Structure 1
């Protein structure tokens, strides 16, 4: 099985409606965050099925998929890596993790990050030093920054919240809406584990938080609580 064979399978699952819709949804116009990206027109569940069917392809073919001009091919490569990581021994996990972080220029849209970062970067770092996340958060590449935040989801699910609050504080003044949404989302998830910690963070920082970030973080609060925090 080759990358070209997998692309053909994806093309067979394409629909005209999705091929027209997805470039608009992922902001591929001039000056937008996904400028120039190309889409075959396949939904994520179908791409995931193709990935699971071919998770044993060679590393060389995964690289070809990840370097594809087509968004769904890159997503398929990442989903294959996620599947492999789940069953891998520690040495292979390290290889996947290192390959992932060396390839972030091709993990270049929010869905590609969201469907892979927590399951590879986050899971690998659960019991390790996390300094790399703070380095990624300082990167000039938007997707590196989003990887840093989404990776914390693996920690949050275990009730380990220190990094999401620390990284969120560092990214409070970020200019991009995609980071406002990502940080707010992870803060919301942290609040599910420890509402008091989230409230403490919001009490200290709500005045400087972008409105979108603040609103996302409050989604599980009551109407009265949301109104209180949104008043600043």
Structure 2
């Protein structure tokens, strides 16, 4: 199987409705965060099926697929990486993570980040004491690197490990982009679902300076009274 053949499989699974809808949804117009991105028009479940059927794709073809101009081809490449990571030994997992980070400029939309970061970088770092790479990514000038760092912490949050999401959330309090406000708010909400005290302590310390979108996302699982209290403040 080659990257070109996988693209043909994706094209067969496309629909005119999705091909018309997705460019608008992902802000591909001039000045949008997805400016210039192209879509074949395939739904995520179908992309996953194609990825699972082609999870033995060689590295050179995987590189071509990730460098493809079409969004769904890049997503398929990332799903294949996730499948490879699940079955890999420690040495191979390190190689997959290195490959993933070396191509982070091609993981260039929020859904591509969200569907891969926690399952590759996050899972790799769960048992690692050294998580400096998260903070290196957080300081990157590339928005997608920054979002990768935040979403990777979901893997830790599921294990009730909240240190990194709290640290990163504090670093991003003054971030200008709405996509980062949403990502941080989402992860704070997930932390709060597992340990409400962690979220409340963060809110008590930072709610007055949190971007409104970040605050609103983080509050979604709190009571109506708690939401009103923090939004009013």
Q: TM-score range by the shorter chain?
A: over 0.9
How much has 1:12 moved relative to structure 2?
A: 0.2
Corresponding residue for 2:33? 33
Partner secondary structure for residue 209 of structure 1: coil
Corresponding residue for 1:85? 85
How much has 1:50 moved relative to structure 2?
A: 0.3
Corresponding residue for 1:210? 211
> Which runs of structure 2 are paired with 1:85-124 in the superposition (5 Å)?
85-124=85-124
> Which runs of structure 2 are paired with 1:59-208 in the superposition (5 Å)?
59-128=59-128, 129-208=130-209
**Gap regions ≥5 residues in structure 2:** none
Q: Deviations over 1:115-144 (max 9, x none)?
A: 000000001111111111011111100000
> Given the two structures, how large is their TM-score scaled by the length of structure 2?
0.99
Corresponding residue for 2:232? 231
Q: Deviations over 1:80-123 (max 9, x none)?
A: 00011011100100000000001011000000000000000001
Partner secondary structure for residue 202 of structure 1: helix
**Gap regions ≥5 residues in structure 1:** none
How much has 1:193 moved relative to structure 2?
A: 1.2
> Given the two structures, how large is their TM-score scaled by the length of structure 1?
0.99
Over aligned residue pairs, what C-alpha RMSD do you find?
0.5
- Cα distance in 2 for partners of 1:197, 1:109 equals 29
Structure 1 runs (4+) deviating above 2 angstroms are none
- Cα distance in 2 for partners of 1:127, 1:208 equals 33
- Cα distance in 2 for partners of 1:2, 1:166 equals 42
How much has 1:197 moved relative to structure 2?
A: 1.2
- Cα distance in 1 for partners of 2:198, 2:109 equals 30
How much has 1:225 moved relative to structure 2?
A: 0.7
Corresponding residue for 1:58? 58
Partner secondary structure for residue 36 of structure 1: coil
Q: Give the aligned length.
A: 232
